[in-house]
Structure 1
Amino acid sequence: MRKELEEIVSEVQREVNFSGTILVKKENDILMDKSFGYANCSDKLENNSETRFGIASGCKLFTAIAICQLIQNGKLSFEDRIKDVLDYEFAHFDDSVTVHHLLTHTSGIPDYFDEDEMDDFEELWVKHPMYALRELKDFLPLFQQEKMKCTPGEKFHYNNAGFIVLGLILQQVSNMKFQDYIEEFVFKKAGMNWSGYFAFDLLPSNVAQGYIDNKDGTWRTNIYSLPVIGGSDGGAYVTAGDMARLWEALVNEELLDKKYTELLLKKHVSVNEDSYYGYGVWIREGSLPKYHVMGYDPGVSFHSGYYQESSITMVVCSNKSDGAFEIMRAIEEEIK
């Protein structure tokens, strides 16, 4: 399979000009560990297996794990309402919105980036400069005074603001900064030694710059397209190996006990015919069932999944706005 994977992925890489790192593992057996493109185009620094990539919304799973840890430890419950566990005021929010609603994108609260109404993430920064967003509370003016989109529990509607609220709840309940909590109780416990929430103006070594392709064939970095530092709705940096370790720690019940691992991975809401959402994780049934996460930002595309029947873990990190999906789909065709 290794040779076939190499050939298939190389062909797709040429077609879509993929830049990033791909890791495919079956338990402890590495089926593929391959990198393409540059982490820094200006200095021609190549991506490698230790490169740290932004994963956008891929890290909503980290937030969900952390919230479930607090619930497992008796500090919170899925039925707790926002109004009872958070000191911030939300003028038009329904009083019945719970932690469960937020975790499953069924809260109905307004989003700060609603994909039904906006196409370009960069539109957000016209009125709210990205360099001013350094803490979770800095996102509140983007949605705090807006009206509900629908009744809580009525339907699934992907919502970034809901995970910002979850992060604020985590900070209040744990009395820790969100990023510090995740690094201590998720990354360290999973052995993710190279991952973190890094500020654009304080990046460590071996971090991939995110690149946006312009229509004229030139490119630009994404430093003016995203908040300064990631938070509870997205923006962490991981290596492909660290993300694989996250899946291993999760399914082996090293981050949560059996009860809460099963609750996190439970199909809580139907999204479409064979796709469901758990707590911070997508769940697909059909011919190739998997738990998976994904993330897209300007200069970021990311897909990662754990395939239950084969015990295969796949991680596709890219420092360009697209390409990860095509690579993932090609690999899935081979491992069916």
Structure 2
Amino acid sequence: MNLDSVRGIGRRRLLGWGGLAAAGAPLAGAQLGRPDSFSGLPPETGPGGAYDRYLAELAAKGEFSGVVLLSHRGRTVLSRAYGLADREKGIRNHPGIAVSISSAGKPFCAVAILQLVQQGRVKLTDTVGTHLTGFADEIAERVTIHHMLTSTAGLSSPAQDPQRIFTSRDEVHEYHERWTRQATLVAAPGTSSDGHSGADFAIPAQIVEAVTGMTYWDYVEKHIFARAGMTGSGFYTRPRWLTDEHIAHSYMLQADGSRVDVVRNLDKGSEDPFQPGKNPARSVSSQRI
């Protein structure tokens, strides 16, 4: 689903180095199911039912835009698209549209790490310094992969410039290698924390690269997306995002109540309290080209 209000999908997180740019179904799309063919399933859950009408009403008011899949025991009950994937070009959403999932892409990093654990190439007890250099001793020697994957590393990441725009993947990569090495240890590793550090995700991604010799993006696309049949998912650069009509655009709420296209307006912030521009202290996630 792609929420036009972009609550929880900030310019930082939407365009993140480690974040998954867009995930979608295979371009063939899914078929609509008939609710009367499912024993005990309320008819209002199917096409034309109350749920379908509710989403259509939200889309008509500009409060929702995206693709919904409702299934029951592995069978599709409702697969329908609402709203526009690109307002400027008038491209409607459809089941083959890929949408940004922002920080929801982080579990793929855990999958990549655990694949390497299964292969005996990595251990969850390995510290940062086992595979990477350039970190402060207390991080390199005390913070483990398990700590980072469970958000108990005790790390704090420095804020980033919300207006920075990259021109290549190499520039994104080099920037975040420097950025993660500026992280500091603010709590004992293994201690639960309400905080959130982008380094908890970016460092394991770099470990994947150090162990495999591949970029994190290439590794995930080859060893997770391809193996899972996720043919509509991938990591996309801004130029690709601007020209590929199967990738949905997300929008940021402005002070005057309007919404602007995030991909076309990387220099603008947002009035949403979860977005940069309203509360710069929360603008700590990464950006993508």
Question: Does the CA-based 8 Å contact 1:211-1:219 persist in structure 2?
Answer: yes
1:178 aligned partner: 216
2:247 aligned partner: 207
Distance 2:188 2:266 in 1: 32
Q: Does 1:152 find its partner at 2:189?
A: yes
1:130 aligned partner: 165
Question: Does the CA-based 8 Å contact 1:91-1:144 persist in structure 2?
Answer: no
Distance 1:190 1:26 in 2: 21
What pairs up with 1:35-46 in 2 under 5 angstroms?
35-46=81-92
Structure-2 change in CA distance of 1:88 and 1:202 (3 Å): farther
**Structure 1 unpaired stretches of 5+:** 114-122, 227-295, 299-336
**Residues 49-103 of structure 1 deviation map (CA, whole Å, 9 limit, x = unaligned):** 1111111001101111010000001000100000111133336636210000010
SS of the residue 2:142 aligns to: coil
Distance 1:190 1:14 in 2: 34
| Alignment TM-score, normalising by the size of structure 1 | 0.59
Distance 1:145 1:225 in 2: 24
Aligned equivalent of 1:169, options 197, 207, 212: 207
Distance 2:192 2:219 in 1: 30
**Residues 190-216 of structure 1 deviation map (CA, whole Å, 9 limit, x = unaligned):** 100111000011233311122113232
Structure (1 or 2) with the larger CA radius of gyration: 2
1:102 aligned partner: 148
SS of the residue 2:139 aligns to: coil
Aligned-pair CA distance for 1:219? 2.7
| Alignment TM-score, normalising by the size of structure 2 | 0.68
1:139 aligned partner: 176
Distance 2:255 2:275 in 1: 18
Pairwise CA RMSD: 2.5
2:131 aligned partner: 85
1:244 aligned partner: none
Distance 2:212 2:104 in 1: 23
Q: Does 1:62 find its partner at 2:97?
A: no
2:19 aligned partner: none
Name the amino acid aligned to 2:237: A
Runs in 1 of length 4+ with deviation above 4 angstroms? 11-16
Distance 1:190 1:57 in 2: 20
SS of the residue 2:185 aligns to: coil
**Structure 2 unpaired stretches of 5+:** 1-44, 268-273, 277-289
SS of the residue 1:190 aligns to: coil
Structure-2 change in CA distance of 1:140 and 1:177 (3 Å): closer
SS of the residue 1:93 aligns to: helix
Q: Which has the larger share of strand?
A: 1
Structure-2 change in CA distance of 1:38 and 1:12 (3 Å): closer
Aligned-pair CA distance for 1:108? 0.8
Question: Does the CA-based 8 Å contact 2:209-2:215 persist in structure 1?
Answer: yes
